[in-house]
Structure 1
């Protein structure tokens, strides 16, 4: 496939030069189109001069288009795409730029999924001096993955599928026009998101867990022109569009559009509050502030954004096998397979740095995310010596919750000792970890309406503040994993 990079610009020649250079210096040669919205700062002279210089060297990759009058961001993008000869379009604002291998990496991933109509990558946010401020998080497994078309809009509705800004996205040219191009009613304020929503009706989406683009954060950005109220109204309109496009199989699971609107009002009321607009905060939040469902959606969105995706790595299988070799007496052949996958689930929450092939700083509560099933057989010796709950052995034998608690504590002790040999920092005291396990299983008992058992198991762990911290962090981690598993994210290129 071939790509065209379409750069929209208006009176930002200094920034435009950087964007053009990043497009022309790609490791895979691609056409570069500068779509100028009638600039008055010498943009035309600079680009035509560069164009002539390149043509003298036999290079006709740079194309220049100039609007007869100032038409706005959306119509300028449409004009640039009309001139493109590439099968795929990579949009680029003049204040952003690309990594040299952006087009190459996108091309390789797209080739593995011919049904794809849209592609997105990670982006670094940089300041005016190109100092990196942050990077958008990973959104799924592997180096590249795809989401089937029927899952996309449900994922977008619940903010599990973030395509991002134009600097992150590429799309098929023919599908762009089939979807209607960019709508000038949203000029500079969600015209891109509106387009992603429409394009996603026609095929799969490919995502790359690689930082291949750079977005400049500065006061001159286009989106700073809009008020909080206008941005909120447009955001609600986008969600309404997505809501109607959610595949039939998700209809029973999607929230009501009224609750989605209320959730967005709560979100934007907090944006107003952060900007010191107290009257606007009150007006925006009312009456959404009384919606319990809206608050639930807001909390879930915050939890989901809090931490990037952590995908299973081959490194974890190595650690699991090493743990088995250290404790072979714990497992029989039937149980080993089940336990192996359970331990991989635990170990996958290690953060592995791509820049440094070593374990990063561990948050221990992620290691403790053990499943609620009994991994070892019920004949495995009870570990009552670890936790004093004043329970006799007969209760141990007949109380399933207590047996599961003992089993998890035993697994935990083995994992704890194992982790100490690999990473000794940031490990809480063993008594705190055991208290956390008691809280976890006390909650399981209460959910099964076994109130007395829940109270017995919880005491005295209920008084441990560090254990409660781990408990709530583990719940948050569990929720993020369940949320990620709601839609299909299928690996194209493994790590």
Structure 2
């Protein structure tokens, strides 16, 4: 099994160097691909100075995040792709742990892990949630979209996720119309149609929280709209085994409105608060859904769906 780490970048050389180093210093050998979205800084000069240790691809014109990821994957030769944005970085044993887990579940097409969220000084702020007890879980394909719908299967950001290159290509790659606004989540939804998933309860990735992050350029109302679109896509793919158990789609939409309304309130973002507020958020169902989601994340080891997942490494 060969891994390719595909690092997408645009005018962030100081951060890119850290991302590249985290890939080159992995405990197992891998291919490192840097996909450059036509940077105007010294990115090209620096990456080319690394010689054959890195595969370099540069867009002739700026094409956006999704198209750059797709170009990087096209240049990669690995069986599996490990995604990485230039402002994030990997634990040095990330690929080694993923390879171990995938070897025990050869029909898997997507693998994720816990990530630490860090500030600009690499000080840890928080961690993404674990998925039940143990070190790794195999999630049957029939359960994946149901788990994503109820927010029990947190694949997360590119720093956390790897996927089968074949499955990626079958989906047609990332959607440029979403460009950096859930283009990754949209990809995980589609990839998950082609096989099983693995989640590693190990912190193997680091995501930088800073004002220059791609998603910071989108308004909360736009992020809400895209979140609703993602839930609609997931809803349509929930396996028939779970159809009788899922909430009404409108209730899920109302829950998302409530979630982003509370985010706007927390951020004291009055403009977004006014644009998002809707009478539906005052009904009992979205509050019930919010409470259920919070409690589920805190007690996933007791959740019925989590109990169905298969421990593959303990």
TM-score, normalised to structure 2, is 0.97
Q: Which region of structure 1 is more displaced relative to structure 2, 17-26 or 271-280?
A: 271-280
Higher relative contact order (CA 8 A, sep 6+): 2
Aligned-residue offset at 1:32: 0.1
Could you give the per-residue CA deviations for residues 441-471 of structure 1, whole angstroms, max 9, x where no partner exists?
A: xxxxxxxxxxxxxxxxxxxxxxxxxxxxxxx
**How far has the Cα of 1:487 moved from its partner?**
6.2
Provide, for residues 379-425 of structure 1, a one-character-per-residue CA deviation record: whole Å limited to 9, x for no partner: xxxxxxxxxxxxxxxxxxxxxxxxxxxxxxxxxxxxxxxxxxxxxxx
Task: Tell me the equivalent position of 1:207.
Answer: 199
Q: Equivalents in 1 of 2:45, 2:291: separation in Å? A: 51
Partner of 1:188: 180
**How many residues end up aligned between the 2 structures?**
314
Indicate if the aligned counterparts of 1:141 and 1:489 stay in contact, CA closer than 8 A.
no
Change (3 A) 1:132 1:280: closer
1 or 2, which has the higher strand percentage? 2
Change (3 A) 1:90 1:486: closer
Match of 1:11 in 2: 11
Residue number among 167, 181, 193 corresponding to 1:175 in the alignment: 167
Paired position in structure 2 for 1:288: 280
- Corresponding position of 2:309: 489
Cα displacement (A) at 1:49: 1.2
Q: Contact 1:137–1:309 (CA<8 Å) still a contact in 2?
A: no
Preserved contact between residue 74 and residue 183 of structure 1 (Cα < 8 Å): yes
Give the gaps of 5 or more residues in structure 2: none
Question: Contact between 1:160 and 1:484, CA under 8 Å: does it hold in 2?
Answer: no
In 1, Cα distance between equivalents of 2:54 and 2:275: 49
**Partners of 1:89 and 1:280 in 2: how far apart?**
36
Partner of 2:86: 94
Q: 1 CA distance for matches of 2:33 and 2:2?
A: 14
Which of the numbers 214, 217, 227 marks the counterpart of 1:225? 217
Q: Per-residue deviation at 1:308?
A: 6.2
In the other structure, the counterpart of 1:236 is 228
Map residues 422-441 of structure 1 onto 2, 5 A cutoff.
Answer: none
Distance 1:130 1:484, change over 3 A: farther
Pick from 108, 133, 136 the counterpart of residue 100 of structure 2. Answer: 108
- Deviation by residue 1:23-44 (Cα, 9 ceiling, x = unmatched): 0001101000000000011100
Question: Aligned partners of 1:181, 1:282: CA distance in 2, in Å?
Answer: 35
2:83, 2:306 → 1: CA distance?
A: 30
- Describe the SS at the equivalent of 2:244: coil
Superposed, 1:257-406 pairs within 5 Å as 257-278=249-270, 280-305=272-297, 307=298, 309=300
2: CA distance between counterparts of 1:493 and 1:249? 27
Distance in 2 (CA, whole Å) between partners of 1:492 and 1:293 is 36
Number of the residue aligned with 2:248:
256
Q: How far does residue 140 in structure 1 lie from its aligned partner after superposition?
A: 2.2
CA distance in 1: counterparts of 2:165 and 2:247, whole angstroms: 33
- Within the alignment, does 1:72 sit opposite 2:64 as a pair? yes
**Runs of at least 5 residues in structure 1 that lack an aligned partner in the other structure:** 52-59, 311-480
In 1, Cα distance between equivalents of 2:210 and 2:261: 23
CA deviations over 1:87-145 (Å, ceiling 9, x no partner): 00001000111111111100000000011000001111111111111222211232111
1:292: how far off?
A: 2.1
CA distance in 2, matches of 1:206, 1:140: 12
State how far apart, in whole Å, the 2-side matches of 1:204 and 1:485 are.
Answer: 15
Query: Pairwise mapping of residues 139-150 of structure 1 onto structure 2 (< 5 A)?
Result: 139-150=131-142
Q: How far, CA to CA, are the matches of 1:37 and 1:487 in structure 2? A: 43
SS of match in other structure, 1:64: strand
User: 2:131, 2:194 → 1: CA distance?
Assistant: 21
Q: Compute the displacement of 1:81 (Å).
A: 0.0
> 1:133-176 CA deviation, whole Å, 9 max, x = no partner?
12222112321111100000001000000001000000000100
Instruction: Please give the per-residue CA displacement for 1:235-254, whole angstroms capped at 9, x wherever unaligned.
Output: 00000000000000111111
Partners in 2 of 1:37 and 1:282 — Cα distance? 36
Query: How much is the aligned-residue C-alpha RMSD, in angstroms?
Result: 1.4
Inter-CA distance 260–272: structure 2 relative to 1 (3 Å threshold): same
